[in-house]
Amino acid sequence: MATTAADRLAKYTASLLGGALPVGLRTWDGGRAGPRDGPVVVLKNRRALRRLLYAPGELGLARAYVSGDLDVEGDLTEGFRRVWALNRSGSSVHRGPKNWAGALKLAAGLGVLGPPPAPPAEEARLTGKRHSLLRDRSAIAHHYDLSNAFYQLLMDESMAYSSGYWTSEAPGYGIAQAQWDKLEMVCGKLGLKPGMRLLDVGCGWGSLLVHAAKHHGVDAVGVTLSAQQLQHIRSRVAALDLEDRVEVRRQDYRELIDPPFDAVASIEMGEHVGDENYPAYADVLHRMLRPGGRLVLQQMSRGAVAPGGGAFIERYIAPDMTMRPVSATLGHLERAGFEIRDVHAMREHYPRTVRAWAETLEARWDDVVALIGEAGARVWRLYLAGGALAFEENRMGVDQVVAAKPTASGASGMPATRDWP
């Protein structure tokens, strides 16, 4: 009896993994292998395998999924969970000359051999020196200039594109309230009072700028590299009659020359800076803050073994991003002259935030496709499913750091007891 492509692939994959397939598999010839319960990976054509042959692992799988050559039936998050469980159990892919020879032989037998398929158009293609001013602007544009209409659809009215802070399990409490509570917490940690000057480095769509000006009476300046974000914030500020209180610029953090501010925030922007530039970034945050002022830095983190975002994230979502251990970030801040006053781990809050966005994505799928195309929508489905699980399983974290810039006499400007939750 002739075996199907699914049977042959399952046998080969088991030899690589050292165990059975963690998910079901169905191939273009109607074959079926693997577990009968749970998610099923569907290889719609031979091109899906050709993508994996030329880019084994995460990148090839992402290209196949985004292009539609590969699909997943069932719960995508559960599929990720089962695959990652192999890593936790000690299973790993065994690679070497013998395995590559086996892969080529199998590929030839399945009629997969051929030229490499072109990557999906959604994949970033940056040029120039890494983290130069021009390349950083291109990297930010790849993700954040996708479409204001899309981000308005995905997020709540505040347009806060960072982890919320979930303070209640009450029915009706959702992403909008969690983002409000996060913004209030940031303002509380900064000690904002009417008349103070606030700088937001990497201000996104202006959620903190607007919240701080409207509800805490500050004068706020925000900088972003995104043309779309700049346009959105200026329109929103004008609609709220806050033009005399909020200023936004399309400006790199390295170009800031303002007098020092009373408070400085940078919310999930440091991931885009890069290791080589992080000392300069920390120096700018320090220089922009007056003595006795406070900094709130919210930033995603990752363990020392895997400081990057992964092949999919770096090609499709946030090119050139670097996530470092929180200990490394604290070292940079201290060397810049900051005194670390508080570190607040918020990892458990990110899965809830991301899954709220994912629910909106699925509920508005047709609208999303109309805005960014089928392939773009698939990028976001993959991104949100994998991202939520990474935080849930402690492969990524997010932390809020409060730091002070001491005065010449050494005074921190901080109260003896915390004045935030």
- Model pLDDT, residue 90: 46
| Residues 6 or more apart whose Cβ sits within 8 Å of residue 44 | 28, 68, 69, 70, 71
Query: How many structural domains does the chain have?
Result: 2
Residues 204 and 314 reside in one and the same domain: yes
- Model pLDDT, residue 382: 94
Residues 282 and 385 reside in one and the same domain: yes
Residues 80 and 167 reside in one and the same domain: no
Sheet of 246-250: strand order equals 246-250, 219-224, 197-201, 261-267, 289-302, 396-404, 339-345
Which residues does residue 248 pair with via DSSP β-bridges, in sequence order? 222
Instruction: Return the number of other C-beta atoms located less than 10 Å from residue 88's C-beta.
Output: 8
Structure tokens that stand for 41 in this block: 């990976």
Residues 311 and 187 reside in one and the same domain: yes
- Model pLDDT, residue 408: 96
Q: Using the 3D structure, point to which of 109, 141, 170 is the last residue of a domain.
A: 109
Kindly report the CATH number assigned to the domain that includes residue 60. Answer: 3.30.1050
Residues 18 and 151 reside in one and the same domain: no
- Model pLDDT, residue 313: 86
Q: What residue has token string 């990976």?
A: 41
Residues 390 and 306 reside in one and the same domain: yes
Q: Provide the domain limits for residue 44.
A: 5-109
Residues 187 and 265 reside in one and the same domain: yes
The answer to whether residue 138 sits within a structural domain is yes
The answer to whether residue 301 sits within a structural domain is yes
The answer to whether residue 200 sits within a structural domain is yes
The predicted model scores a pTM of: 0.93
Give the helix ranges, DSSP H, for 55-132: 58-67, 76-88, 97-109
Q: Are 121 and 301 in contact (CB under 8 A)?
A: no
Report the chain's terminal Cα–Cα distance, integer Å.
67
* CA dist 275 → 124, 132, 211, 282 (Å): 20, 13, 31, 11
Full pLDDT tens readout for the chain, 421 residues: 558 999 999 988 888 777 788 899 999 999 999 999 999 999 999 999 999 899 988 899 999 999 999 999 999 998 888 877 765 544 445 455 566 787 888 889 999 999 999 999 999 998 998 889 899 899 888 888 889 999 999 999 999 999 999 999 999 999 999 999 999 999 999 999 999 999 999 999 999 999 999 999 999 999 999 999 999 999 999 999 999 999 999 999 999 999 999 999 999 999 999 889 999 999 999 999 999 999 999 999 987 655 556 788 889 998 888 888 999 999 999 999 999 999 999 999 999 999 999 999 999 999 999 999 999 999 999 999 999 988 998 889 999 999 999 999 999 999 989 877 7
Residues 104 and 139 reside in one and the same domain: no
The answer to whether residue 125 sits within a structural domain is no
The answer to whether residue 328 sits within a structural domain is yes
Task: Please give the Cα distance from 92 to 98 (Å, whole number).
Answer: 16
Residues 241 and 329 reside in one and the same domain: yes
The answer to whether residue 118 sits within a structural domain is no
Residues 51 and 178 reside in one and the same domain: no
Kindly report the CATH number assigned to the domain that includes residue 153. Answer: 3.40.50.150
Q: Are 208 and 266 in contact (CB under 8 A)?
A: no
The answer to whether residue 307 sits within a structural domain is yes
The answer to whether residue 103 sits within a structural domain is yes
- Model pLDDT, residue 91: 46
- Model pLDDT, residue 95: 54
Instruction: Return the number of other C-beta atoms located less than 10 Å from residue 271's C-beta.
Output: 20
Residues 257 and 318 reside in one and the same domain: yes
Residues 99 and 139 reside in one and the same domain: no
Burial of 109 (0-12, 13-18, 19+ CB in 10 A): exposed
